[in-house]
Amino acid sequence: MHNIDLILTLTTGLAIALVLGYITHRLGLSPIVGYLLAGLVVSPQTPGLVADQGIAEQLAEVGVILLMFGVGLEFHLNELLAVRKVAIPGAAVQCTVATLLGVLAAHYFFDWSWSAGLIFGLAISVASTVVLLRVLTDNRDLHTPTGHIAVGWLVVEDLFTVLVLVLLPAMFGGGPQASGPLWLALVVALVKVSALVAAVFVIGGRVVPWLLHRVALTQSRELFTLTVLVVALGIAVGSATVFGVSMALGAFLAGMIVGRSDFSLRAATEALPMRDAFAVLFFVSVGMLLNPKTVFDSPGLIAITMAIILVGKPLAAWVIVVLMGYPFKAALGVAVALAQIGEFSFIVATVGRDLELLPPEGTQALVAAAILSISINPLLYRAVDPISFWVLQNERLREWFKPRRRLADKQEEDDEPSPYRTVIVGYGPIGRTLVRLLRENEVEPSVIDLNFEAVQTAKSQGIPAIYGDAMQPNILREAETHLAGTLILSSSNMHGIAEVTRLARRLNPKIRVLARVGYVSELRTVKQAGADMVFSGEGEVALAMTAAVLQELGASGEQIDRERARVRKELTEVQNVSQTASAS
């Protein structure tokens, strides 16, 4: 039989991750906990199935590349600028505090070297993007001041992680016995990174958008997906082989290049499903590092790690947000949401392990702390509202925590849906007519379309337009559906009209949805999905023809209106009959 280690590793790793991820999700925990436990199940440390750890680590490297590519792709400077006054100093102070606590604890309590303590402190200073976004979304706080601060905070932490991945090899590249002045190593690293950035942004900034444009014109989803993956992996591998810097940095820069193009949202929604699969394998490979015996041998290390994650980090974050003038609830929400570690902690720990700096028990403690903190975090976040309510009910505490400056007031006002904002899906003849009429009546429209040429035409006319599939939640979010008063689905042959309606309702329960369908039989389905008004191509053609015939015969306006009403009633009856027949 041929060697099937790769297939066995993929199959067993993903299958067990699926089962345990589903179980942890049903228990109200993050699926990441299940993925980490799946790694423990297939690791050499436990009896039963054993996956090939070498292959798992290579697949995990692909997961790191795609994770960092996604970070670069979804890096929005506007999100950071909106909350820069709190996110930048807040993330800087919190990361510094957590790192110092980690360094001091490792050195004085466990007699580690300063360099090992530094790696350990850096690893526990950054939170998991996946976990934080999931917690905010589940509690409907993503588009609140708390969510905006936390997301901006994460952007700063992501940039901090990228900086760490660049500096660590430069500082400790030769391992513990490295020789030579530190300043020289840093200068060499800076030159290499500068050369890589110049090459990626000058050359890649022209070639990559041109390539994506050419492939998008083929209308082939498979080719587009393949192109984005080749760009991500190609630049990542090239950055390591040609410039001698980490593949993670190359992947981040590749993501920024694609993110600056008109194809960023489509790349994020259609071309990165593999990112999730390989991210699962990354967590599985991390779980394979966990040795239960070592964990039980160092309960003190895990306890101190958890104390820094659950007390030190959130306390530093809470103090900064309160001092910046935000309300108690927003400060507490941000602090609790950041009280966990995840994927970036493992990436930093992996670099420390490769540099032979982080002791094995350090990696064990980080994995164990990640499992515990990710499990506890959603439960802690649910306590934010009751605690805030209790504090605000107490007169002395309410006065004590009263914000000195309401920095979030304007943001809260801006987050209210406006009846003068409309999102139109489809920029065909009807979509263009709608945009023109709305603009003439001082309503601000934005457009979503999967036709790249239509999007370019809209942009050339000064209309905000997004290239992507409206069935993807982040496309609707980017079009600011949560801030719009109306959503119009103008294309009758659009796929998934009912699903888009449901997604829009989740993002903005107050939004008014007007949908166009091709057939009368679709009216009821789309109406049940939440559309306020549904227009059928069959019905409107029948009405128009009826009016034309009656006008030719000299009928009065009143007669025409009466016949229109009768035809509408008949079409509704036809719809009900067809629905009953299909149900039976």
| Residue 400 resides in a domain | no
Helix H segments across 405-521? Answer: 409-414, 429-440, 452-460, 473-478, 497-507
37 with 161, same domain: the answer is yes
342 with 439, same domain: the answer is no
| Residue 404 resides in a domain | no
CB atoms within 10 A of CB 198: 10
421 with 323, same domain: the answer is no
pTM given for the model: 0.65
Rg of the Cα atoms in the chain: 28
256 with 358, same domain: the answer is yes
Tell me the pLDDT tens digit for each residue of 24-44: 888 878 788 898 889 888 888
Cα torsion for 208, 214, 219, 220, to the nearest 10°?
Answer: -60
| Residue 340 resides in a domain | yes
CA atoms within 13 A on the CB side of 419: 1
374 with 417, same domain: the answer is no
Q: What are phi and psi of 539, to 5 degrees?
A: -65, -45
Q: What are phi and psi of 422, to 5 degrees?
A: -135, 140
In whole angstroms, what is the distance from residue 373 CA to residue 354 CA?
Answer: 25
Mean of pLDDT values over 432-447: 85
- Write down the pLDDT at residue 178: 44
* Residue range of the domain that includes 418: 412-583
pLDDT band at 179 (very low <50, low <70, confident <90, very high): very low
438 with 566, same domain: the answer is yes
Contact between residue 420 and residue 485 where contact means Cβ atoms under 8 Å apart: yes
Nearest partner of 362 among 378, 341, 376, judged by Cα: 341
pLDDT band at 338 (very low <50, low <70, confident <90, very high): very high
468 with 348, same domain: the answer is no
Contact between residue 457 and residue 434 where contact means Cβ atoms under 8 Å apart: no
Out of 334, 363, 381, pick the residue that ends a domain.
Answer: 381
| Residue 98 resides in a domain | yes
Query: Largest alpha-carbon pair distance within the chain?
Result: 99
- Write down the pLDDT at residue 417: 67
431 with 489, same domain: the answer is yes
CATH number at residue 330: 1.20.1530.20
Overall domain count for the chain: 2
Hunting for tokens 């792709």 — which residue is that?
Answer: 73
| Residue 376 resides in a domain | yes
CATH number at residue 569: 3.40.50.720
In whole angstroms, what is the distance from residue 116 CA to residue 563 CA?
Answer: 83
Write out the two tokens for 79: 């999100």
For residue 104, give Cα distances in angstroms to 43, 117, 304, 312.
Answer: 32, 7, 11, 13
| Residue 391 resides in a domain | no
Out of 340, 360, 381, pick the residue that ends a domain.
Answer: 381
244 with 368, same domain: the answer is yes
426 with 284, same domain: the answer is no
In whole angstroms, what is the distance from residue 580 CA to residue 512 CA?
Answer: 28
pLDDT band at 498 (very low <50, low <70, confident <90, very high): confident
Tell me the pLDDT tens digit for each residue of 216-239: 888 788 888 889 889 988 988 888
| Residue 233 resides in a domain | yes
pLDDT at 96 over 50: yes
Bridge partner residues of 311 (DSSP):
none
Out of 381, 397, 423, pick the residue that ends a domain.
Answer: 381
